[in-house]
């Protein structure tokens, strides 16, 4: 039977007064799904009565525990001397008053190699093949690098492997890109002893979440985001309920959202919830890749080519939509005609044999959202006059989709020349609706004058966390008020927040509204179907999203 990968809740205890609350936190962590507790006693170990406090932590630990007292020189907080630290470990595991002692103690490889005396003392305190006493505590030998991948990483692992007293190997380093995770996976696959191989920092989440796929001994998690004990550590709740950690097996297919930045994306909630709902063996992660094409190419290439990752697709967002098109083209993959026409794609599909396809679901999602919201068919859009505000990527997808349906559009943009460029590109094209597209550019101060049936915001104006948060794109200083009434439809592609200032204003003036969330869920549902071969109703994704809010 496959051995499970444990979730270890890492809890730092700073002072003797904190011991009671730390034990309560540990109990809550176990309820959330932690199978091991790591007591980080770096600061506590320097307190006068440390041994009693740590002894209580071990005795009352609600799950088997690891005791770690990380010195400053290895990224921890302990500033005391080595003999005191090791005496504390000895007392913990040998003292008869301790029930069974800690399940593991964690000692740095560097400390262990540096001093023969320390090594002997540690070896006396833990179980190993040559141990004559009945010891219950195992030794985790560990090595950390908070700057990057250590040059001698492989030598360090070899040294730990060859050390008879070492029960579990632990290596952790600051990932420089997503590719470092792939090396961590290779180390797990080649392990000769139980091994923990984790990457730290913003690129390292993949190694923490996918540890079960590669047989990692454990992954560390925190009970609270403000209490992480290493950079990039997820919460137990995220592991269990967002990434469905318990469902991950060696065969699990890997997906993700590629962007920069991408850590606050809602796509993992939507897709992982969808995978679970239909029983699909997939896992979806945020995949941060810096903007340059070279980063994109090297990272995605390595993920696709990794023999055991089973990377099968991605949602692609700002600033990589054009990079995706170029990459798929360079690799001889298939590009759908719509993506080619728009010049950008948002979906990567990797076939089981590594063949690539890309598609653009923003475009169809925008048209579908509009039609569903207005209660009309796509062909009826030919009768509508539509104001598109913005001339960036989303505006492009919207204009491509609506011009295909034969709608008449006026594009308004802060930088008028971009509106003119976009309009010129689509105006006069022969469309799928069997007519020539009518797309022109308008000046922002004439937004109120066009007798439009529909206004579509394709700018970030109103989006949380931007300069224009709280603003409406319909407000143009010095221009007439845009007429909004029950005959007008307002579609805001911004979806954070769902109820933007524009949506609120339009609703209060009687207009029909369509939110960006509607489009976001629809484009995700189309991606989901491309990857899984199964359609799921929008409600499935909406429910998954609501669960994580």
Residue with tokens 């700018």: 459
Collapse the DSSP code of 307 into the 3-class scheme (helix H, G, I; strand E, B; otherwise coil) and give the result. coil
- Nearest approach, Cβ of residue 344 and ligand NAP (Å): 9
Binding of ligand NAP by 171 (CB under 6 A):
no
Residue nearest to ligand NAP (CB): 392
> Which residue's CB is nearer to ligand NAP, number 203 or number 426?
426
Per CB under 6 A, which region of 109-117, 118-126, 145-153, 491-499 contacts ligand NAP? Answer: 491-499
Stretch of 327-335, 377-385, 480-488, 489-497 lying at the interface with ligand NAP (CB under 6 A): 489-497
Under the binding rule (CB under 6 A), the answer on residue 316 touching ligand NAP is no
Q: Which residues of 216-244 are buried (b: 16+ CB within 10 A; e: fewer)?
A: bbbbbbbbeeeebbbebbbbbbbbbbbbb
Contacts of range 89-94, beta carbons closer than 8 Å, 24 or more positions apart: 89/121, 89/122, 89/125, 90/121, 90/124, 90/125, 91/51, 91/55, 92/51, 92/54, 92/55, 92/58, 92/67, 92/137, 93/125, 93/126, 93/135, 93/136, 93/137, 94/125
Question: CA of 108: how far to CAs of 17, 122, 220, 360, in Å?
Answer: 27, 11, 17, 49
* 190 Cβ contact list (under 8 Å, min separation 6): none
Among positions 299, 323, 403, 413, the unique one binding ligand NAP when judged by CB under 6 A: 413
CA distance 509 to 483: 9
Among the residue ranges 123-131, 333-341, 445-453, 456-464, the one whose residues contact ligand NAP (CB under 6 A): 456-464
Q: Does 391 bind ligand NAP (CB under 6 A)?
A: yes
User: For residue 49, what is the DSSP state?
Assistant: T
CB 475 to ligand NAP: min, Å: 10
Beta bridge partners of 302: none
Q: How far is Cα 97 from Cα 230, in angstroms, rounded to an integer?
A: 32
Active site residue 547: no
* 461 forms part of the interface with ligand NAP (CB under 6 A): yes
- Which of 138, 216, 390, 406 binds ligand NAP (CB under 6 A)? It is 390
From 323, 523, 527, 532, residue interacting with ligand NAP (rule: CB under 6 A): 523
Map the footprint of ligand NAP across residues 328-367, applying CB under 6 A: 362
Q: Does 418 bind ligand NAP (CB under 6 A)?
A: yes
Closest CA to 359 of 528, 527, 516: 527
- Backbone angles phi and psi of 400, in degrees to 5: -60, -45
Cα(88)–Cα(79) distance, integer angstroms: 14
Tell me which of 170, 213, 321, 384 is the catalytic residue: 321
The only residue of 394, 409, 423, 437 in contact with ligand NAP, by rule CB under 6 A: 394
Q: Report the run of H or E that residue 513 belongs to, with start and end.
A: strand 512-514
Q: How many residues bind ligand NAP (CB under 6 A)?
A: 26
| Min CB(441)–ligand NAP separation in Å | 12
- Smallest gap from Cβ 462 to ligand NAP, in A, equals 8
**Taking contact as CB under 6 A, which single stretch among the options 83-91, 408-416, 448-456, 480-488 is the one that binds ligand NAP?**
408-416
Asked whether the beta carbons of 39 and 57 are under 8 A apart, the reply is yes
Q: Is there binding between residue 423 and ligand NAP (CB under 6 A)?
A: no
If one asks whether residue 392 binds ligand NAP (CB under 6 A), the answer comes out as yes
User: Whole-number minimum distance, CB 450 to ligand NAP, in Å?
Assistant: 18
Q: Does 516 bind ligand NAP (CB under 6 A)?
A: yes
Gyration radius of the chain over CA positions: 28
Judged by CB under 6 A, which of 126, 172, 348, 395 binds ligand NAP? 395
* Cβ nearer to ligand NAP, comparing 279 with 477: 477
Is residue 10 near ligand NAP by the rule CB under 6 A? no
Backbone angles phi, psi at 315, to 5 degrees: -90, 140
For ligand NAP, which stretch binds (CB under 6 A), given 49-57, 231-239, 325-333, 461-469? Answer: 461-469
- Between CA 94 and CA 41 the distance in angstroms is 18
415 binds ligand NAP (CB under 6 A): yes
265, 493, 527, 532: residue in contact with ligand NAP (rule CB under 6 A): 493
Phi-psi region of 2 (alpha: psi -120 to 50; beta: other; left: phi over 0): beta
Name the residue among 206, 12, 382 with its Cα closest to residue 198: 206
Determine if 91 is a binding residue for ligand NAP (CB under 6 A): no
Find the shortest distance in angstroms from Cβ 138 to ligand NAP.
49
Of 460, 489, 501, 506, the residue at the interface with ligand NAP (CB under 6 A) is 460
Binder to ligand NAP among 386, 519, 526, 545 (CB under 6 A)? 519
Q: Which residues are catalytic?
A: 321
Which residues are near ligand NAP by CB under 6 A?
A: 318, 362, 390-395, 413-415, 418, 458-461, 463, 467-468, 493-495, 516, 519-520, 523
């Amino acid at each position: 039977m496959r051995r499970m990968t444990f979730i270890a809740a890492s809890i730092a205890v700073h002072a003797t007064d904190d011991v009671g609350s730390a034990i309560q936190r540990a109990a809550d962590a176990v309820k959330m799904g932690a199978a091991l507790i790591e007591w980080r006693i770096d600061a506590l170990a320097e307190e006068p009565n440390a041994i009693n406090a740590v002894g209580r932590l071990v005795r009352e630990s609600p799950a088997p525990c690891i005791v770690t007292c990380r010195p400053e020189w290895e990224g921890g907080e302990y500033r005391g001397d080595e003999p005191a630290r090791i005496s504390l470990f000895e007392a913990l595991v040998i003292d008869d008053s301790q029930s069974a002692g800690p399940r593991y103690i964690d000692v740095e490889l560097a400390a262990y190699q540096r001093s023969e005396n320390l090594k002997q003392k540690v070896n006396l305190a833990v179980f190993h093949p040559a141990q004559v006493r009945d010891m219950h505590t195992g030794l985790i030998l560990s090595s950390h690098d908070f700057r990057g991948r250590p040059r001698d990483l492989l030598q360090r692992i070899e040294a730990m492997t060859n050390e008879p007293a070492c029960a579990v190997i632990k290596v952790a380093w600051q990932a420089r890109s997503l590719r470092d995770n792939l090396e961590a996976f290779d180390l797990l696959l080649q392990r000769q002893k139980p091994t923990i191989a984790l990457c730290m920092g913003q690129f390292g989440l993949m190694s923490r979440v996918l540890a079960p796929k590669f047989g990692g001994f454990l992954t560390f998690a925190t009970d609270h985001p403000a209490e992480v004990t290493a950079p990039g550590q997820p919460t137990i709740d995220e592991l269990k309920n967002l990434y469905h950690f318990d469902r991950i097996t060696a065969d699990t297919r890997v997906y993700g959202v590629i962007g920069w930045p991408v850590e606050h994306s809602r796509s993992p909630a939507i897709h992982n919830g969808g995978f679970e709902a239909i029983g699909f063996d997939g896992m979806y992660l945020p995949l941060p890749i810096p903007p340059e094409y070279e980063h994109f190419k090297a990272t995605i290439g390595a993920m696709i080519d990794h023999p055991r990752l089973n990377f099968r697709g991605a949602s692609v967002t700002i600033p990589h939509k054009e990079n995706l098109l170029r990459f798929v083209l360079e690799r001889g993959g298939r590009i759908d005609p719509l993506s080619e026409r728009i010049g950008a794609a948002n979906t990567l599909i990797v076939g089981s044999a590594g063949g690539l396809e890309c598609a653009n679901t923003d475009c169809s999602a925008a048209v579908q959202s509009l039609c569903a919201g207005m209660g009309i068919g796509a062909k009826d859009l030919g009768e509508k006059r539509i104001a598109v505000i913005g001339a960036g990527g989303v505006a492009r997808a919207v204009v491509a989709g609506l011009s295909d349906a034969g709608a008449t559009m006026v594009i308004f943009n802060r930088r008028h020349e971009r509106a003119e460029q976009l309009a010129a590109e689509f105006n006069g094209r022969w469309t799928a609706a069997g007519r020539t597209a009518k797309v022109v550019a308008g000046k922002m101060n004439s937004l109120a004058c066009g007798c439009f049936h529909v206004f579509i915001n394709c700018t970030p104006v109103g989006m949380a966390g931007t300069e224009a948060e709280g603003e409406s794109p319909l407000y143009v200083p010095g221009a007439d008020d845009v007429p909004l009434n029950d005959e007008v439809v307002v579609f805001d592609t911004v979806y954070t927040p769902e109820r933007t200032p524009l949506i609120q204003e339009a609703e209060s003036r009687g207009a029909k509204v369509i939110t960006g969330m509607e489009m976001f869920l629809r484009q995700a549902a189309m991606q989901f179907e491309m990857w899984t071969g199964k359609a799921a109703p929008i409600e499935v994704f909406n429910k998954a999203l609501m669960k994580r809010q």
